Amino acid sequence: MKIYVSVDMEGLAGIATWGEVDTSKKEASEALQEHLRALLEGLFSSGVGIDQVLICDAHGSGTAIPYKICEEFDNVSLVHGPIRKDYMMSGLDSTFDRVIFLGYHAGIGTKNAIMDHTYSSSLIHNVWINGKRMNEALINAGFAAHHNVPICLVVGDGALKEELDKEFHGTWLFVDTKMGLGRYAAIMKPKKRLFEEMKRAAAEAVKIPRNELVLYGFDAPVELKIEMKDTVYADMAELIPGVERIDGRTVRFVHNDYPVVFNTIMAIVYVAMAARDWRS
């Protein structure tokens, strides 16, 4: 069995502010590694033959997970580094059996969601695909579904579960790490209990029959709409071929191939980032 794990940070326990997801700080790096170890221990204790686990370092610039995690477990590889195709799902293809999301969070604008955002907290105000408001888990699940790879487990905050319950159909597991009280405050689950739940869920998730798992795809043509936080970001985004300006802050892109739409999100983020940094 081949398992793909996409790892973010805002949905981890013990984290409530942006400073706490800065992995140049020892505490943040250790928190991330503790969660990841618990997940991997659960996977490899399942009794299921796991040939490969590919971890995608999907937080920020993609440099949050130390390479040494690959020394601690057999058959574990790591996608690491910034500016890459498919970003939060780099390396995934149809040879994988199932996908796990670790440390994921609710979408931008969600009440009582820790550091709510969708791909960029400083550049993007809202994202819709085929008319539905998105979060990162839904966007990335769509990429997995394009490759016919289902979702089996999500680890994240309670607000995310409420969003996914409305959209995911099939058998899947969720481990909640904390319950938000606001954008920067939450009740954190006891660490020992959380890691035990994660280990059990990981071991169970790989035993669910593949045909019962969640495939969350989008019908073609796929319409992407992004409302930027500033008109200058939309000024930049509409320079991308195929991107249409709808109003002052909103752009639209339509394509039949979901990966093209998926990568257009990051293209828009990168050009808007250039506008933000130029202005500053």
> Prior bond to 221 cis, omega within 30?
yes
SS3 content of the chain, % helix, strand, coil (to 5): 35, 25, 40
Is 59 assigned a ligand-binding role in the annotation?
Answer: yes
Beta pairing class for 222-228 and 124-129: antiparallel
CA pair distance 161, 110, nearest whole angstrom? 12
Is 10 assigned a ligand-binding role in the annotation?
Answer: yes
Q: In this structure, what DSSP letter does residue 259 have?
A: H
- Three-point CA angle 157, 147, 124, nearest 5°: 45
Is 8 assigned a ligand-binding role in the annotation?
Answer: yes
Does the annotation mark 117 as catalytic? yes
Tell me the three state secondary structure of residue 183: coil
Tell me the three state secondary structure of residue 118: coil
Active-site residue (options: 35, 117, 125, 146): 117
Beta pairing class for 52-57 and 76-79: parallel
Beta pairing class for 178-182 and 173-176: unpaired
CA nearest neighbour of 233 among 108, 122, 83, 119: 122
CB neighbour list of residue 150: distance below 8 Å, 6 or more residues apart: 98, 99, 144, 170, 210, 213, 214, 215
> Is 65:79 a contact under the CB 8 Å cutoff?
no
Ramachandran sector of residue 6 (left: φ over 0; alpha: ψ -120 to 50; beta: rest) = beta
| Binding residue positions | 8, 10, 59, 105, 136
- Which residues form the catalytic set? 117
| Binding residue positions for Zn(2+) | 8, 10, 59, 105, 136
